[in-house]
Structure 1
Amino acid sequence: MTALADHEVHTQNRLRRALGLPTASGYLWDGHELHAPCQSCGQLPPLAPPPAPPPGQPVVDIVPDHHALRTAARIVAALVEVIDQRRPVKQVADFVHPRVLRYMHTLPVDHRGSRGGARLLTLHAAQPHEGAVEIAASVRARGRRRALAASVALTSDYVWACQTLRIL
């Protein structure tokens, strides 16, 4: 089923008018009852106003920790350098979860030793809650632009470490 703009008329309605039948019109479901449009003007009835917000303090967004965002960006940049073979894996082992290291070992590498195959193009960091940073980035790898997703979290030792990394 396709969505139509207000000024467009569906082909089925043209045929119904030509045959003298009433045109098909949209209905409104409010969660309890199905409402038909007005017979004279075709307008849908107004819904009830939205309910009042629940009592209590409103949820406040956390204040972004710029140090955490910068640290997470540096970690992801270092991981891209590992993918490009400009940095040895041992240099990132301290701030990377072992499953990320296993994932890094499964990535295809250029055995000719040529560098410049992986390059960080864009990076967007967000902090969903305290102690975690999520990264969305784009990387040029083997001549193609790829999406990179990573999560960096504060460990029990108060060290930022990459918990997950995926190149899509």
Structure 2
Amino acid sequence: MSSLSNRIDIETEFSALTLSIIASSAFGQGFESIPHAKETICHSFNEVKDVLEYRALRLIGLVQFLADLPFWGKKTIDEASKKLNEFVDQAIADRRNGKSESLCSGQDILDLLLSAVDEHNKGFSDQQIREEALTFVLAGHETTATLMAWTL
């Protein structure tokens, strides 16, 4: 018989897997190319998700004054968001400066965002690119991970 210590938290494993896959399609590179990125990003994302769930159930985010108070996980959200932003900002800077190339055979999301222009032929700012890339990565990640875990 197997012992209880051999249990695997499949939801956590699927969460890390789907985040890595989606990030690879967004940035054209896996977390493996950046030391400790996978652990940092997964941990930061899960921290933000947990605090946001807590705050949402208590309707804290509905009143901006309450959401800005240094309670109910505000510091956790700020610190984890900073780590996520730093990761994406580094990926953007590396791609702009030619320090990294997409591992995808075609263009990845970051390539598309960097080359996109509006009707005035003006490109996105780094902040806009970061926000769009994070939205893409974080929006599909948790739903997919949960679906995979429940499928088993």
Structure with greater proportional strand content:
1
Q: TM-score, normalized by length of structure 1?
A: 0.20
TM-score (norm 2): 0.22
State the structure with more CA Rg: 1
The one of the two structures with greater contact order (alpha-carbon pairs below 8 A, sep at least 6) is: 2
